[in-house]
Every structure is written in C-alpha cells, then in structure tokens.
A and B are shown apart, each in its own frame.
Chain A
Amino acid sequence: MAHNVEPAHSAEHEYTTTGLNHRKLLMWVFLSSDCLFFGALIATYMVYRGQSLVGPYPNQIIDVPITTISTFVLLCSSFSMVQALAATNRNDQRGIQLWLLATAILGAIFIGFQVYEFNLFKNEGLTLGTNLFGATFFTLTGFHGAHVTLGIIWLLGLFFVARKGRLGPKTSLDVEIAGLYWHFVDIVWIVIFTLLYLVAGFDTGPVSSSAG
C-alpha cells in the first residue's frame, strides 16, 4: 500500500501532496468530524438518561426485538455496499447496479422501520417536547436517520450513473467514498443501538430508578 505514490485511480489529473487521494482524505476528515457531531448527541442522551420527570419512559415503549431486525437490515446493507465496490473493481456492470440498488433498498427498509417506530412513539405520547428522553432520543436517532436518508439519495445517484455504464475500475473511487460514508452511518448505528436500546432501553421512570 505504501508504495502507491501515484494516485490509485485513473490519475493523470489528480495531484497529491500526501501520497494519498485527496477526495478520500477529505471523506475521512469529514467522517472524523462527524464522530464529534454524533458524540455530542450521544453524550447529551447519556447525561439526561433516566432524568425524565414524566413518561413515557424507555421501558414502556422501546422495542428491542424490532430494532434488532432493523439493525440486521443495516448490517446487510453494509455487506451489499462492499459487494458494490467489489463489482465496480472487477467491472461487473450488472453487479454494480444490483448491489448499489440493494444497498439503497436495504437503507430504505431501515428508514421504514424508523418511521414506524417514530410514529408508534408519537401515538404512545412521546414527542420531541414530552420529556428529556423524547428530546434526546428523537434528536439523536433523527439525525442518524437523516444521514441514512442522505446516503440513500447518494446511492441512488450512483445507481443511475451506473446504469449509463459510467462506473468501473477507473471510477471506483466514487463508489468507495460513498461506501465509506455508508459504513460510517452503520457504525454510528452500532453505537446507538447498543447504548439507546440494549443498555438504556429498559430504563424506568423516577420511582424505580431512585432505588438504584
């Protein structure tokens, strides 16, 4: 890897001062800063965890089994994303389109689960303004959902480019960078799923928590 002084992709128009592709570098810098963005939202959730004065509380409405399924869906989409990149690298035009579309659809299914969940919570009386739980939960998962939605739009854009046969080994960086973003959204969800659902999903209201 280290001997790659020439930019790896297509190349003659790309310049680099680091020996690394600048577009990829930019993506990593962005993802690094996005860690701070989500870090702040997650920290806010954890600070206010269990501090809601009125219900609904997490244990009354968080549905871990359903969200485990949507977590699987997102993991599958990460797998199909790497397959899209692999297909691009071997110039498998049909594979590129298939895997890109599959990734976008899996992402859309995940968003579908989230819309269902938000709607259910709203009907149970939890909104952004109900309590600290609602405010921090919807802000965090809502911003994650927005990231996924942006990713879906990006993937669909790539899909239409692929349909014109413009994606291949020479332009695989386009797919790779979209993939980096997509996988990042996946790892953010890994953290959210663990903290908000597995760890904090059984939090109760003030009565029982004061005993602990």
Chain B
Amino acid sequence: MAASHDEQHAIRHPSFAQYVLIAFILFVITIVEFLLIWERLGIDWESSQALAHSKVPLLIVLSALKFAIVIMFYMHLKFESRLFTWIFLAGLALAFAAGIAVLGIFASIGGDPRTYAQDNAVPYEGHGSEHAEAAEPEAEHADERENPLVAGPTSLEIGSIADSLEFNAGSLTAAANDEVTLTFHNTSTVYQHNWVLVRSGDRESVVEDGLAAGEENGWVLPDDERVLAQIRLLGPGQTEEVRFNLEPGAYEFVCTFPAHNLTMYGDLEATGDE
C-alpha cells in the first residue's frame, strides 16, 4: 500500500498478511495465558516450589510480550521516530517506578494492611453510644480491644446509674479462659436490678423467657442454659459478685427486670489466648 501512494512516504507499515499474523500471535499468547490458569486443564501450581514461583512471572512476561507487539506493530513505534518511543517509555517507566514505590511504602510501614485494619478497626458501638456515661470505662478497655490476643482483666465492676435505668458501662472486656470476678452494685434508691450474662445474640430471647418466668423466678427462666452467669435481683443499694470463666468471644449482659431490659444492657468481650 505504501508503494501506491508516494505521499505516504517511506514509512512501511506491515502488510495485511503481516497484520493477520500479528493478530494470530496475540490470540495464541492470550490462549496460552488462559490455559495456564484454567482449573480444568489442572496445572497444579502449588505442586512444587519452582512452579509456584514461576506462575506470576510467566503471566507477566507473556502479557509484556503482547504489550510490546501491540505498541511496536499496531502503534507503529517500530517504524516511527525514536522520539515517540522514548516519550512513551518515559511515561511507562515513571508509572512503573511510582507503582513500585507505592507498593514498597505500604510494605515497609505497618506490614500487612489487613492486620493493620483489623487492629485499628473502630468497633461498632451501636446501642452502646446511647450510654453516654459508658465512655469512661470504654476508654479504659480500648487498649485490650485493639489486640484480641491481650487478655482482658479478671476483675470487673459494674453498677446501675442511680435511678436511671442504665448500666454505667455499655461495654466490658474480660479475660477469656480465666476466672473472672464481677461485682455489681445496685446504686438505685428505688429499683430492683439483676445482671445476666448471655452469648451475643441470645439477649432478646432470654429476656422474653425471663418475663414469662415471672417475678417468683427473679425474671430469669430457672436453669436456662443460655444464661452463662447471673447476679440475682438486688434491692436498692445492694452489692453482690459472681465468678465465671468464658471462652473468647462476644457476650451481652442485661437486666431482665420488665422494661429495664429495653435500656439496661451492654456488650462484654472475652479476650485472650484461644
């Protein structure tokens, strides 16, 4: 075609047959790439160390080859002034260098971002934030919560807030797989309160059954297996303690006295060695 149009200069673009050949090569490389990772072909990349380390480089080399073929022939860099090539390669090299730099920065500070995210995730407070007074005790336990492997305290104290129907802590952290002593103060001058510990998610149903069990049972179903620990219904000004031993996990506590349960509850997290 170049010969038929003299003004089309000396740049020799590939012929039709050559373009077909180039397209064919690009197709073949893509098919090879696909077959390499196609599970039905069943290359077990984990079967040997050498294979496991060669998979990604192999794919990158193949795609770099396609990349080079397209810019050399389809984009005519092979037939053009070198300046075009240098301009393009400069941008490509800068992009590559910037990418490596970003990856390097992230790899060097804080290590694995997923661990970082898990360690620094802010727990969803939800209803806990309604307990404005809970802010202080929460701050005390903030350290433990950041790293679940650090065991929580073995001695806890909780109380009601004078005559309002709330606990003075919206969330607690306790040591897992260890005996924990919890002291509950009923600071009210008029109300009766109890303290019932259940697994996270069991609170509503335990409260419901407690209501049905009635006053004679202290608003807790007798021998309820979902109740992991409890302090009996205390009169105004009374204090009592309970000991328990928990597996690591999320728990909830609640006062099951009718209507108190609507506002008087919180989370307890047991942390420590698995």
Interface residues of A (CB under 8 A from B): 1-4, 8-9, 18-20, 24-25, 28-29, 31-36, 38-40, 42-44, 46-48, 50-53, 64-65, 68, 71-72, 75-76, 78-79, 81-83, 85-86, 89-91, 169-170, 172, 176, 179-180, 183-184, 186-187, 190-191, 193-194, 198-199, 201-202, 206, 209-210
**7 closest residue pairs by CB, A with B:** A39-B95, A32-B91, A43-B99, A194-B63, A35-B91, A79-B23, A35-B95
- The reply to whether B113 and A190 form a contact with Cβ atoms under 8 Å apart is no
- The reply to whether A183 and B71 form a contact with Cβ atoms under 8 Å apart is yes
Which residue of chain A has its CB nearest to the CB of B15?
A86
Complexed CA–CA distance, A48 and B81 (Å): 39
- The reply to whether B10 and A184 form a contact with Cβ atoms under 8 Å apart is no
- The reply to whether B7 and A75 form a contact with Cβ atoms under 8 Å apart is no
Contacts of A47 in B (CB 8 A): 102-103, 106, 113
CB contact list, B1-60 vs A, under 8 A: 1-2, 4-5, 7-11, 13-14, 16, 19-20, 22-23, 26-27, 30, 33-34, 36-38, 56, 59-60
- The reply to whether A90 and B5 form a contact with Cβ atoms under 8 Å apart is yes
- The reply to whether B9 and A64 form a contact with Cβ atoms under 8 Å apart is no
Contacts of B106 in A (CB 8 A): 47
- The reply to whether B30 and A89 form a contact with Cβ atoms under 8 Å apart is no
Contacts of B66 in A (CB 8 A): 187, 190
Contacts of B87 in A (CB 8 A): 25, 28-29, 32
- The reply to whether A31 and B88 form a contact with Cβ atoms under 8 Å apart is yes
Stretch from B72-80, B134-142, B179-187, B266-274 forming part of the interface with A: B72-80
- The reply to whether B8 and A33 form a contact with Cβ atoms under 8 Å apart is no
Contacts of B212 in A (CB 8 A): none
- The reply to whether B98 and A36 form a contact with Cβ atoms under 8 Å apart is yes
B117 within 8 A of A: yes
Within the complex, what minimum Cβ distance (angstroms) separates A120 from chain B?
Answer: 19
A interface, by DSSP: helix, strand, loop or mixed?
Answer: helix
How many B residues touch A, CB cutoff 8 Å?
A: 61
- The reply to whether B88 and A39 form a contact with Cβ atoms under 8 Å apart is no
Interface residues of B (CB under 8 A from A): 1-2, 4-5, 7-11, 13-14, 16, 19-20, 22-23, 26-27, 30, 33-34, 36-38, 56, 59-60, 62-63, 66-67, 70-71, 74-76, 79-81, 83-84, 87-88, 90-92, 94-96, 98-100, 102-103, 106, 112-114, 117-118, 121
Query: Which residue in B11, B90, B118 is a CB contact (below 8 Å) of A32?
Result: B90
- The reply to whether B114 and A53 form a contact with Cβ atoms under 8 Å apart is yes
Cβ-Cβ contact count across A and B, 8 Å cutoff: 170
Contacts of A34 in B (CB 8 A): 91
A46 and B38 contact, Cβ closer than 8 Å, known pairs A31-B91, A187-B71: no
Which residue of chain B has its CB nearest to the CB of A90?
B1
7 contacts between A and B (CB under 8 A): A8-B7, A36-B91, A36-B95, A36-B98, A40-B98, A78-B70, A89-B8
Complexed CA–CA distance, A7 and B27 (Å): 35
Complexed CA–CA distance, A107 and B221 (Å): 68
- The reply to whether A82 and B71 form a contact with Cβ atoms under 8 Å apart is no
A4 and B98 contact, Cβ closer than 8 Å, known pairs A47-B106, A72-B27, A190-B67: no
- The reply to whether A68 and B113 form a contact with Cβ atoms under 8 Å apart is no
- The reply to whether A169 and B81 form a contact with Cβ atoms under 8 Å apart is no
Contacts of A180 in B (CB 8 A): 75
Contacts of A2 in B (CB 8 A): 81
A19 and B5 contact, Cβ closer than 8 Å, known pairs A32-B88, A190-B67, A199-B59: no
A75 and B23 contact, Cβ closer than 8 Å, known pairs A51-B114, A186-B70, A194-B60: yes
Contacts of B22 in A (CB 8 A): 79
- The reply to whether A3 and B10 form a contact with Cβ atoms under 8 Å apart is yes
Complexed CA–CA distance, A85 and B1 (Å): 11
Within the complex, what minimum Cβ distance (angstroms) separates B8 from chain A?
Answer: 6
Complexed CA–CA distance, A210 and B1 (Å): 58
- The reply to whether B34 and A78 form a contact with Cβ atoms under 8 Å apart is no
- The reply to whether B103 and A32 form a contact with Cβ atoms under 8 Å apart is no
- The reply to whether A8 and B8 form a contact with Cβ atoms under 8 Å apart is yes
- The reply to whether A32 and B92 form a contact with Cβ atoms under 8 Å apart is yes
Which residue of chain A has its CB nearest to the CB of B95?
A39
Contacts of B1 in A (CB 8 A): 86, 89-90
Which residue of chain A has its CB nearest to the CB of B114?
A51
Query: Which residue in A44, A72, A75 is a CB contact (below 8 Å) of B102?
Result: A44
Contacts of A48 in B (CB 8 A): 113
- The reply to whether B94 and A91 form a contact with Cβ atoms under 8 Å apart is no
Complexed CA–CA distance, A89 and B79 (Å): 16
